[in-house]
Chains A and B, each alone.
Chain A
Amino acid sequence: MKYLTEFRNGEIAQRMAREIAAAATRPWKIMEVCGGQTHSIIKNGIDQMLPAGIEMIHGPGCPVCVTPLELIDKALAIAAQPGVIFCSFGDMLRVPGTEQDLFQVKGTGGDVRVVYSPLDAVELAANNPDREVVFFGVGFETTAPANAMSVHLAKRRGLKNFSVLVSHVLVPPAIEAILQSPGNRVQGFLLAGHVCSVMGYWEYPPIAEKYGVPLVVTGFEPLDLLDGIRRTVIQLEAGRHEVENAYSRVVTFEGNRAAQKLLSEVFEVSDRAWRGIGVIPKSGWKLSEAYREFDAEERFEISGIHTEESALCRAGDVLRGAIKPAECAAFGKECTPRHPLGATMVSSEGACAAYFNYGRFLSAEELASAGSALTGAAHE
């Protein structure tokens, strides 16, 4: 458990929280970009440790949440076809499309399989030459290298029955879109550590310069997050706006060059629709010309999809950081992890699910008093 337990030390965390409180003289609003960070913040109660003025705004970095409804409906239509083996990461299975989800497609005879690596899907294609194997390639820059490698290998092995339904999105254009949106409240960013482990952080200095915001590369453990917040607050207080690396045990400035080279070969930048946000120019990847034959959208001509978002769901406002999950009228009422109206309630990285799962339907006082039984209150 090296590199994990050391970063979960409660005493050091308390000390860092005090340092943040000492450094902050004014209120600041900081966005953690990645859904994995949101999950960790809520799970560990990091936001409860911060001084009152420091507000964490939860960003759009949950791949499940921002995948457009239309693409999920396409996935459902492809998965339901006879002769198809549809492969996906686990947490896409419960994401609701307009009418059903992949679990229901599986239950009614679709061959839907959870894989742990896209390379497993390539193997499935090689072992099942009479079936069409489709991989649902969703995610940010983090999952892109493995997805690119699957297509690269399929091409090299001459597999004609493998394709990928691609929905790759990119972090830097999303940050710019948030900063350009009218009414933006975000003053500093925790950059997604694992995205930067692939891409490095050379893309970010121009953004820091152009918009005057500090950007701090941050990890996922409690101490990583507190360190990222601390460095962001110190910069904000000093009026600086630089790109800093608080996750140097994983991230370098250049990132993974070999992965970047493969990505630029397999993918090309394209406009992408983000669920709940809309189209962001040049914010995604699609398969490049040389690999277009592996695009499931071209191989399966799916038409006649009519998507319909829930009228109550405010996932878009949550993803932009405009509201907190509990501020949505449907939160915890019409919309729960059991009956999610929007994708932010499905994935454990979705801000709404994180809030619901970790009891943010309790008031702060109720939560604070909840632990008192452990310290002897039960004897009273």
Chain B
Amino acid sequence: MSELLKTGVPDFSNWSCPLPLVGYPTIVMGHGGGGKLGNELVEHLFLPSFRNPALENLGDAALLDVQAGKIAMSTDSFVVQPLFFPGGNIGELAVNGTVNDLAVSGAVPRFLSASFILEEGFPLAQLAAIVGSMAKAAATAGVKIVTGDTKVVEHGHGDGCYINTAGIGVVREGIQVGPHRAQAGDVVLVSGTIGDHGMAIMSVREGLEFESQIRSDCAALNGMIGDVLNVARGAVHAMRDPTRGGLASTLNEIAQSSRVGVVIDEASLPVRTEVQSACELLGLDPVYVANEGKAVFFVAEEAADTVLALLRAHPLGREAARIGQVTAQHKGMLVARTAMGSNRVIPTQIGEQLPRIC
């Protein structure tokens, strides 16, 4: 069992700040006030962690060189609790989430912004650990964090730390993917096991701690998606990362946007045994549980085997699987073939899944 699971408190004993932060061990209102304290945070934490020329100007906006062509832009806010969970933390999530949104749009992610809303009293050591993770995640994904902002809210008005990231990517030439482009006959592939992130969060949530080896799958997918697009190019019609709402919501969205039906074979869905067991215990269905490092691909039939092989050759796609097909029937709907050989509709959930009484 990890330190985090044992104590519920992340272990920062091996962490060291690039430059010592002066004064307060926790966030105070002044850190967001634009004065000396705020500057210290920038100079002692954000700059050394994210260091790059565009950021170092510290202008009101970052000035970026981008070649002519199409640009993709995306934004996402992160409010996950707890902030540190098995397999990641809110910082990694904030970088990878926006990187993945750009990547599944067919773009090469380049630049991110990072805005922090911090609660008064939030420990600086935790902020530093989060920022350190963001820097590492950005380096892994090959993106630069070029602009940012920090605001502080009074104690009790926030949940420790919220992060917003926005990102810009350059759309690959000749690639046209979109949730409205799936076609009857397309094969549906998923890049690995589903439900890992959501159940990792559940396993450490207050009131529900259960011992498990489940870790979040939080990862940047742009490398793996690049490998696929470099070879399969136009044969990939739609891609999406099934985050909140899980695989079921993503497949329903694409079925509706593309006005096609999607059929999946329930027995072919890759689900870790421990995730499946935890879901059984709580009365949840893994198709609705969030992922943070998986992508779904809608691919022309003739390219399906190639794409599957490309995915499996990538470290993040080893457990990729062919899970279904697109049909011209039951437009806008997701249908599963059950292990019993019968069929059922899998609708979009209304809100979050609720653990059942018995």
Contact = CB atoms under 8 A, between A and B. Distances in A.
Interface of A: 1, 4, 8-10, 13-14, 36, 42-46, 48-49, 63-64, 89-94, 103, 113-116, 120, 138-140, 142-143, 194, 222, 337-338, 347-349, 356-359, 362, 366-374, 377-379
Contacts of B333: 359, 370
Contact of B347 (A49, A359, A367, A371): A359
Given A359-B345, A370-B329, 10 more contacts: A8-B340, A14-B340, A46-B340, A49-B342, A90-B354, A359-B347, A367-B343, A370-B330, A377-B327, A378-B185
B289 interface: no
A116 B340 contact: no
**Interface on chain A toward B: helix, strand, loop, or mixed SS?**
helix
B89 interface: no
Contact of B344 (A45, A347, A373, A378): A45
B5 interface: no
B326 to A, nearest CB: 7
Given A8-B339, A48-B342, A362 B330 contact: yes
A358 B261 CA distance: 15
Given A371-B263, A373-B325, A45 B358 contact: no
A5 to B, nearest CB: 9
Residue among B185, B301, B339, B340 with the most chain A CB within 10 A? B340
Interface size band for B? 35 or more
A90 B356 contact: yes
B35 interface: no
Contacts of A91: 354-357
A373 to B, nearest CB: 4
Contact of A374 (B185, B265, B350, B358): B265
List the 4 closest A-B pairs by CB distance, nearest first: A359-B345, A45-B342, A373-B327, A90-B354
Contacts of A116: 207-208, 282, 355
10 contacts: A1-B276, A8-B340, A48-B342, A103-B351, A337-B350, A358-B345, A359-B343, A371-B263, A374-B325, A378-B185
A362 B345 contact: yes
Interface of B: 184-185, 207-208, 261, 263, 265, 267, 273, 276-277, 280, 282-283, 301, 324-327, 329-330, 333, 335, 337-345, 347, 350-351, 354-358
B335 A371 contact: yes
Contacts of B267: 10
Contacts of A8: 339-340
A299 B217 CA distance: 47
A142 B342 contact: no
A44 B358 contact: no
Nearest to A34: B358
Nearest to B186: A378
A94 B347 CA distance: 18
Contacts of B344: 42-45, 358-359, 367
